[in-house]
């Protein structure tokens, strides 16, 4: 092995997990507390990966910091004030002279195995001028080298757009092998419900799920439809063609898909108020009750990523209303449009599950894989 090649392979890979926030009481706090359990499971996995030389946690949660430190993980307290992901990452890269970096939200990959993390780290050790992502439009897992390439871009406020910016700055983009595990994220209560039906949760997460008392009835009924020949499955929202292809390859079901506004956050459309939803227009014209009545005529069950619709019909609503909607708690929703939409979904004669992007991508994929395994 040449001296230069040996030097490249010996350069350390650093995995940086970011987890924090200011959760409010209610479902937001429940999700935040559960995410901490997933973070600890992920930290334990990462510290067991031989190809990863150092693990860092950036957080503003004192309790999470204490538990991470007990696992011999280096903890960085995030600065006070509004959090800016890109600037904090840039400061860490310079302050610690990092060369190969993996960064992700602390609970972004609850199903990823140590072997998959090792494969990602191996790509970074063997490559030069590359960025490895799990999603080219809105990445949750990003690995890149040289780490100093972050100086070629305007560091983004959140992580989803980092991979795209680094690719535009000249790094070769490599997509992680597509799977349920690299595309399943924990962003909404609907993702908790999906995870409760999966066999691959980490030990802390599995214990935490048992204590949440989630209503899994509608989601179980939808999952059971995967085994019904000719069942009509409706998928609405930011649906990826990849998961549709997986269903078509492995199940004898018909899939009705309406996909819109993929990448709306990463591309800044949500922030600029540019989201346009045809499904939102249909619901506005028909009313939620008639909309779901028609869906029941053409579908056996529906997974509905409501975020594009809510961005159009109820702009500016709080996280609490979105999360109560995912949980089917219509009586706790303040916004009348969201409350009516949620109530109509619950009263539909077919199982309708409301959620976010992961529900119709990594979540559906994971449910389908679990069905195949059984």
**What pTM does this model have?**
0.89
Neighbour count for residue 10 (Cβ, 10 Å): 9
Cα separation, 205 vs 212, in Å, equals 11
pLDDT value at residue 2: 46
Whether residue 351 is preceded by a cis peptide bond, meaning omega within 30 degrees of 0, is no
With 0-12 CB in 10 A as exposed, 13-18 as middle and 19+ as buried, what is 265?
buried
Strands 141-145 and 130-133: antiparallel
Strands 352-355 and 254-259: unpaired
Residues of the chain with pLDDT under 50: 1-8
Residues 101/144, Cβ–Cβ less than 8 Å: yes
Using the Cα atoms of residue 281, residue 284, residue 285 and residue 290 in order, give the sign of their dihedral. positive
pLDDT value at residue 1: 44
Structure tokens at 300: 């056996």
Domain assignments of the chain as residue spans, ordered by start: 3-177, 189-373
pLDDT value at residue 11: 85
Strand ranges of the sheet holding 301-305, from the earlier edge strand across to the other edge: 254-259, 232-237, 301-305, 352-355
Element (H, E) at 312: helix 307-313
Fold category of 3-177 in CATH:
Spore Coat Polysaccharide Biosynthesis Protein SpsA; Chain A (3.90.550)
């Amino acid at each position: 092995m040449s001296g230069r090649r040996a030097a490249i392979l010996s350069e350390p890979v650093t995995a940086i997990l970011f987890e924090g926030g200011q959760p409010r009481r209610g479902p937001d706090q429940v999700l935040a507390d559960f995410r901490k359990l997933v973070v600890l499971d992920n930290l334990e996995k990462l510290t067991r990966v031989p190809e990863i030389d150092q693990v860092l946690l950036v957080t503003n949660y004192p309790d999470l910091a204490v538990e991470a430190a007990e696992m011999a993980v280096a903890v960085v307290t995030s600065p006070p004030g509004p959090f800016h992901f890109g600037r904090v990452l840039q400061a860490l890269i310079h302050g610690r002279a990092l060369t190969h970096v993996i960064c992700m939200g602390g609970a972004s990959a609850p199903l990823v195995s140590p072997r998959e993390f090792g494969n990602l780290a191996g790509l970074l050790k063997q490559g030069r001028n590359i960025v490895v992502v799990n999603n080219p439009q809105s990445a949750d897992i990003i690995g890149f080298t040289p780490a100093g390439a972050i100086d070629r871009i305007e560091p983004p406020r959140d992580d989803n757009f980092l991979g795209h910016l680094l690719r535009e700055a000249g790094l070769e983009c490599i997509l992680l092998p597509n799977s349920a595990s690299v595309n399943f994220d924990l962003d909404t209560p609907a993702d908790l419900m999906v995870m409760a039906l999966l066999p691959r949760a980490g030990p802390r997460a599995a214990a935490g799920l048992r204590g949440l008392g989630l209503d899994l009835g509608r989601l179980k009924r939808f999952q059971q439809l995967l085994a019904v020949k000719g069942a009509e499955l409706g998928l609405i929202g930011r649906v990826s063609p990849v998961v549709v292809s997986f269903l078509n390859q492995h199940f004898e079901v018909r899939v009705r898909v309406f996909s819109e506004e993929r990448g709306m956050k990463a591309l800044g459309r949500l922030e600029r108020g540019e989201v346009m939803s045809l499904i939102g227009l249909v619901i506005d014209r028909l009313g939620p009750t008639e909309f779901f009545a028609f869906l029941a005529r053409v579908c056996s069950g529906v997974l509905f990523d409501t975020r594009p619709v809510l961005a159009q019909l109820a702009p500016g609503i709080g996280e609490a209303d979105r999360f109560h909607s995912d949980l089917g708690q219509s009586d706790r929703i303040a916004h009348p449009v969201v409350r009516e939409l949620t109530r109509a979904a619950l009263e539909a004669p077919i199982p309708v599950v409301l959620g976010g992007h992961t529900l119709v991508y990594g979540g559906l994929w994971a449910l389908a894989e679990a069905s195949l395994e059984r």
